[in-house]
Structure formats: C-alpha cells, structure tokens
C-alpha cells in the first residue's frame, strides 16, 4: 500500500498540470552533457581499407517506394560508382551506375560523393548491396516497403534536431531498437554550422559516419532545418543549404517539385509531404504553387495517411522559438484543415510537445479575435526537436500551458508511428531514460479520412461483402 502511495505521488509530482491545457511533465532527462563526441571516438571511425566507402545513407528514390538513392563518400580517389545488389548476400544479380562529384567549402575540400539510383525494385523485399572496390568493398541491406495500398501496415520512426552528441547516439540506437522501418527526419542534421572554417566540412563528414549505423539500412526522408542554411559571409559562403544539398539528395523530381528542399513521397499507406521552413512559401512562390498541386494529388483511397514534415513548428508553447512558425501557419493552416492532414511533425524546439486537434484560421486583418479552437478537421501537431544536439534542451515551457497543448516534456527521445491499416495507427513518443528507451506519450491516431462516419459505414459494408463472398457457397445458402 505504502509503495503504491509513493508511486502514485511520484507520478503526480512529475505531471504538473497547469491551466486548462494538457499535461506538462516535470520530468527532465538531460542524460549526458550537451557536447559533441570527440572526433577520435570510435562512433566516427573511418572504415578500414584504402578508399573504403563511408558515410553511407539511403533515401526513397521515387514517388511510390520502388527505388532507392544510395549515397556514399570515398576519401582517397573517386573509385567506382557502381552498386551491385540482389536478393542474397554475396550474390548480386543486378548492378547500377551512379555519379560522383566533389566540392569545396571555404578551405575544406570534400571527399568524392557518390550517388546512385536503383529502381524497378520489388515491394516487401530485402535487398543486399555492395559498394566500393576489391578488399575495401562494403555490404549493407535494406527492406523495400509494401505496395501502395490503403491497408499496408508500416512503422515509421520520427527524429529531429539530431546532432552528434552522446544523447544523439542514444536516440539513434533507441530508434533502431524500436523497429522503425524508415525514418521521417524533421531537420537539423549535423550541427556542423556550430564550427568554423575547415571544421564545418569535417563535422558534416563525422556526422555522415555517425549516422551510417541507421541510414545505410533504413531510408531517411530528409527535410532541412535552420542549421542547414549555413550562411557565412565571413567565410565567403553565402549560398544557403550548400553542404546539405551536396550530400543529401531527395527524390523531388518524382513529385514534380522544382527544389530538393520540398517534395513528397508515398510509402505503403502514407503520403508524406516535406516542406521547407526557410524557403519562400507565401502565395505565388514555387513552394506554395507546388504544395497546392501536391495536395490535389493526394488520394486517400490509396494512401489514407497524410503526413507533413516541416522544421519550424506551427504550434509550440515553449519559450524557445515561440511563434517562429506563425508565418507558415497563416499561409498553410487552412489547407492542412481542408485536406484533413492527419499529423504534422516539426522539430526546431529541443523538447517534446503534442497538440490537440485545433485550428486558428478565422483571423483576418479587419476582424478578430484570433485564437486556436477545437477543430475535428485539424491535424495533430507534434514537435519532436529532441534528438539530442549540442545546444541542449529547451527547458522553459510557457505558463500556463495553453489549451491547445496536450502533452509536453523537456527530454531527449524519438517517436514511432505504427500504421496498422487505413483507420488505425499507434503513436509512441519514447524518452531516452538513463540509456533506456521509455515509452512516455502514446495515443491511437484515428485516420482523418477513413474515420468519417459515412466512410466507416461503407468500409464495414464492403468488409461484410468480402467476408460473405469468401465464404463457401454451402454456408451462404
Ligand atoms: C575534385 O577532385 C578532382 C580529382 O581529384 C580534383 O582535381 C579537383 O580539384 C576536385 N574539385 C574540387 C572542387 O575540389
Ligand atoms: C583553414 O582556414 C583557417 C582560417 O583561415 C585556418 O586557421 C586553417 O589553418 C585552415 N585550414 C586548412 C586545412 O587549410
Ligand atoms: C474577415 O473576417 C470576418 C469575420 O470573421 C468575415 O466576416 C469576413 O468575411 C472576413 N474577410 C475576409 C476577406 O476573409
Ligand atoms: C485496424 O486496426 C485496428 C488496430 O489493430 C483494429 O482494431 C481494427 O479492427 C482494424 N480494422 C480493420 C478494418 O481491419
Ligand atoms: Fe532548428
């Protein structure tokens, strides 16, 4: 009894609820100091062998998940651009030829960056691939998603603002343990922009080697954050996103986008839209025009789950970056509601927060007031900039907790979205807790399109019909 009482009071103490909003968890888990892992640590080890491929990562290579873009770096000479791949390890029936390039950034010269598209893959299949020459060659694998189908199950991992600290390492390892098949990454990759001169490129390289443990096997869907901008007039480097764009290709042409910074892919039962907080998005800009068209292409009968990734959150009740997403909210929020987006994932704020379904679209400059109201058509907004970078946690939440905020906690972690079928997905946020992965915030996400009563009834009827048509005739008559 005493034990139960103690347990209860400690739970109550760690969940201080303020205002009429949701829960502010008093739990703060700053597991390791927020410093980058030293370059000579084994997590950044250069693979053995002359010119061995390093910094290997994969991403989806087409609109529907039958292609993969493989990227790797060789340090000593260009070497081969070839990828050998097939269904069993060491026996490769196919090859593909990629491209190679290098670039300079101030007085840093990159290694040879190879990019190779392999397409025409089978769905739901494990492929092995080999890159590099002779004794220095390396082998990896990946699993293609199930076909585009409204009931294709799929488990996504969601990570943001990762960096290269010991906390970042916990986050990647926990995400791998949670069985995520592909990663939705909400921006701010390496934090190399915290360095100067030659070291900027060096820390992009170390991050590439660091993240290979996951990204060589599981496709990461990239989106760009403010740390990718790297506007450095003092070094004469003023072209935004240069290191990022040289290293992290996206399949933007497949969704008829004009920029790798915003694009869409379809995977299993999900349609994933990636936006750029730091590229023009107001009316008539390319990103605005593109999103308008892409939302029309979404077919909820084929891909019921509509997910948006963006770096700067549209709803955030932390002092850090408060209201920075306001300008994009004003432009895109009504579309998100009209098209019944299921969930918007953002990063930027180094803490975790989940909203209720709310919207704030009634304001215009000649009338007010404007505040968020409950709205069944609105997405759930999730801020997950808690990957664990060297800037540390955003500890100060605004008080009282606003009505729109359902749960918030300043700890590091990652999330998983486990899509079961067209109506149900299970969502978990997992905090990094003393080296353990601890499920902390969870809910069942009901699909915004198939959850509607009319469609639910239609679904039930069809289900009944298919059950009946599969029954032996003798049972029906
Ligand atoms: C790229 O590599 C080639 C061959 O090693 C070298 O000659 C060239 O200067 C490099 N380019 C840049 C931009 O550094
Ligand atoms: C790069 O430039 C910085 C600043 O000018 C200098 O301190 C550094 O030694 C240079 N490094 C290399 C490898 O050239
Ligand atoms: C501005 O808001 C008012 C009150 O909601 C509404 O009647 C009016 O039509 C709006 N004007 C425009 C241009 O949206
Ligand atoms: C969808 O998945 C949920 C959760 O597993 C389950 O309860 C539900 O019956 C499933 N719906 C259909 C139509 O299979
Ligand atoms: Fe950021």
15 in a domain, yes or no?
no
Q: Which ligand ends up closest to the CA of 199?
A: 2
Look-up: residue for tokens 């003023």? Answer: 238
Give the closest residue to 58 by CA, choosing from 183, 159, 226, 156: 183
Q: Which ligand ends up closest to the CA of 102?
A: 1
Residues in the chain: 477
468 in a domain, yes or no?
no
Ligand 3, residues 334, 362, 363, 367: which to mutate, most atoms within 8 A of Cβ? 367
> Ligand 2 site: residues with CB under 6 angstroms?
107, 197-198
Q: Which ligand ends up closest to the CA of 368?
A: 3
Integer CA distances (angstroms), 204 to 192, 220, 312, in order: 6, 16, 22
Domain that holds residue 266: 30-446
Is there an atom of ligand 4 within 6 Å of 455 CB? no
Centre of ligand 1 to C-alpha 136, Å, is 22
Cβ neighbours of residue 461 under 8 Å, at least 6 residues apart?
Answer: none
Give the closest residue to 407 by CA, choosing from 24, 92, 17: 24
Instruction: Write out the two tokens for 359.
Output: 């919207």
pLDDT of residue 380: 98
Q: In this predicted model, what pLDDT tens digit does every residue of 274-295 receive, in sequence order?
A: 999 999 999 999 999 999 999 9
348 in a domain, yes or no?
yes
pLDDT of residue 369: 75
- Give, using CA atoms, the residue closest to atom 5 of ligand 1: 77
Centre of ligand 4 to C-alpha 428, Å, is 18
Q: How many domains does the chain have?
A: 1
- Give, using CA atoms, the residue closest to atom 2 of ligand 3: 367
211 in a domain, yes or no?
yes
- Give, using CA atoms, the residue closest to atom 14 of ligand 2: 107
pLDDT of residue 476: 38
Following DSSP, what letter does each residue of 407-442 receive, concatenated? EEEEE-EEEEEEE-SSSEEEEEEEEEETTEEEEEEE
Q: In this predicted model, what pLDDT tens digit does every residue of 142-167 receive, in sequence order?
A: 999 999 999 999 999 999 999 999 99
Cβ neighbours of residue 160 under 8 Å, at least 6 residues apart?
Answer: 185, 186, 187, 188, 225, 311, 345, 346, 347, 348, 384, 385, 386, 387
How far apart CA 319 and CA 214 sit, in angstroms, is: 32
Planar angle of CA 157, 160, 214, nearest 5 degrees: 50
Q: In this predicted model, what pLDDT tens digit does every residue of 299-353 receive, in sequence order?
A: 999 999 999 999 999 999 999 999 999 999 999 999 999 999 999 999 999 999 9
- Give, using CA atoms, the residue closest to atom 3 of ligand 1: 102
- Give, using CA atoms, the residue closest to atom 3 of ligand 4: 424
Ligand 4, residues 269, 420, 445: which to mutate, most atoms within 8 A of Cβ? 420
Report which DSSP code applies to 136: G
Low-confidence residues in the chain, pLDDT < 50 = 1-19, 472-477
471 in a domain, yes or no?
no
Ligand 4, residues 417, 419, 424, 463: which to mutate, most atoms within 8 A of Cβ? 424
CATH number at residue 145: 3.60.21.10
Ligand 4, residues 152, 417, 421, 442: which to mutate, most atoms within 8 A of Cβ? 421
pLDDT of residue 6: 36
How far apart CA 208 and CA 202 sit, in angstroms, is: 10
How far apart CA 93 and CA 85 sit, in angstroms, is: 6
What is the pTM for the complete model shown? 0.93
Centre of ligand 5 to C-alpha 309, Å, is 13
Is there an atom of ligand 1 within 6 Å of 76 CB? no
Is there an atom of ligand 4 within 6 Å of 194 CB? no
**Distance of alpha carbon 429 from the chain centroid:** 13
Pairing relationship of beta strands 108-109 and 112-118 according to DSSP bridges: unpaired
Q: In the structure, how many helices (H) and strands (E) does the chain have?
A: 8, 27
Cβ neighbours of residue 235 under 8 Å, at least 6 residues apart?
Answer: 106, 196, 197
Q: Is 330 exposed, middle or buried (0-12, 13-18, 19+ CB in 10 A)?
A: middle
Q: How many CA atoms, within 13 angstroms, populate the side-chain half-sphere of residue 91?
A: 2
Following DSSP, what letter does each residue of 216-249 receive, concatenated? TTS-EE----GGGT--BGGGTB-STTHHHHHH--
**101 catalytic per annotation:** no
- Give, using CA atoms, the residue closest to atom 5 of ligand 4: 420
- Give, using CA atoms, the residue closest to atom 2 of ligand 1: 102
- Phi, psi angle pair for 373, to nearest 5°: -125, 155
pLDDT of residue 467: 59
Residue tagged active-site, from 321, 348, 350, 428: 321
456 neighbors 437 (Cβ within 8 angstroms)? no
How far apart CA 230 and CA 237 sit, in angstroms, is: 8
20 in a domain, yes or no?
no
19 in a domain, yes or no?
no
Q: Which ligand ends up closest to the CA of 188?
A: 5
Q: How many CB atoms lie within 10 A of CB 456?
A: 14
pLDDT of residue 33: 84
Q: Is 463 exposed, middle or buried (0-12, 13-18, 19+ CB in 10 A)?
A: exposed
452 in a domain, yes or no?
no
């Amino acid at each position: 009894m005493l034990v139960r009482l103690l347990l209860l009071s400690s739970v109550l103490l760690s969940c201080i609820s303020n205002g009429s909003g949701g829960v502010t968890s008093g739990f703060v888990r700053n597991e390791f100091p927020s410093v980058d892992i030293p370059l000579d640590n084994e997590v950044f080890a250069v693979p053995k062998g002359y010119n061995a491929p390093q910094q290997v990562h994969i991403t989806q290579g087409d609109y529907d998940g039958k292609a993969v873009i493989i990227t790797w770096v060789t340090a000593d000479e260009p070497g081969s651009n070839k990828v050998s791949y097939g269904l069993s390890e060491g026996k490769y029936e196919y090859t593909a030829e990629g491209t190679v390039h290098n670039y300079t950034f101030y007085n840093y010269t990159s290694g040879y960056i190879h990019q190779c598209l392999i397409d025409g893959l089978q769905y739901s299949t494990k492929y092995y691939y080999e890159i590099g020459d002779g004794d220095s060659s390396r082998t990896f694998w990946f699993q293609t998603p199930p076909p585009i189908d409204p009931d294709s199950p799929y488990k996504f991992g969601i990570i943001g603002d990762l960096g290269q600290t010991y906390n970042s390492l916990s986050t990647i390892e926990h995400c791998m343990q949670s069985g995520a098949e592909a990663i939705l990454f909400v921006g701010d990759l390496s934090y190399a922009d915290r360095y100067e001169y030659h070291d900027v490129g060096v820390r992009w390289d170390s991050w590439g080697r660091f993240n290979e443990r996951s990204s060589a096997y599981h496709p990461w869907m990239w989106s760009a954050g403010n740390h990718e901008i790297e506007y450095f007039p003092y070094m004469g480097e003023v072209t935004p996103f240069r290191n990022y764009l040289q290293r992290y290709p996206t399949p933007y042409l497949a969704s008829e986008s004009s920029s790798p910074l915003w694009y869409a892919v379809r995977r299993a039962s999900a349609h994933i839209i990636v936006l750029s907080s730091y590229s023009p998005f107001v009316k008539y800009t390319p990103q605005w025009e593109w999103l308008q068209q892409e939302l029309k292409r979404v077919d909820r009968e084929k891909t019921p789950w509509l997910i948006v990734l963006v770096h700067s959150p549209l709803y955030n009740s932390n002092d850090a970056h408060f209201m920075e997403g306001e300008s994009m909210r004003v432009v895109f929020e009504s579309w998100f509601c009209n098209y019944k987006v299921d969930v918007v994932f953002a990063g930027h704020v180094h803490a975790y927060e989940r909203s209720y379904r709310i919207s704030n679209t009634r304001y215009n400059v000649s009338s007010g007031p404007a505040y968020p109201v409950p709205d069944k058509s609105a997405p759930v907004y999730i801020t997950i900039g808690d990957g664990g970078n060297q800037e540390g946690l955003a500890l100060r939440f605004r008080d009282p907790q606003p009505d729109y905020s359902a749960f918030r906690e300043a700890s590091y972690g990652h999330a998983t979205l486990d899509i079961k079928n067209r109506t149900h997905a299970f969502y978990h946020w997992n905090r990094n807790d003393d080296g353990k992965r601890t499920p902390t915030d969870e809910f069942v996400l009901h699909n915004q399109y198939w959850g509607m009563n009319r469609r639910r009834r239609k679904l039930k009827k069809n289900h009944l019909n298919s059950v009946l048509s599969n029954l032996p005739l003798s049972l029906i008559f």
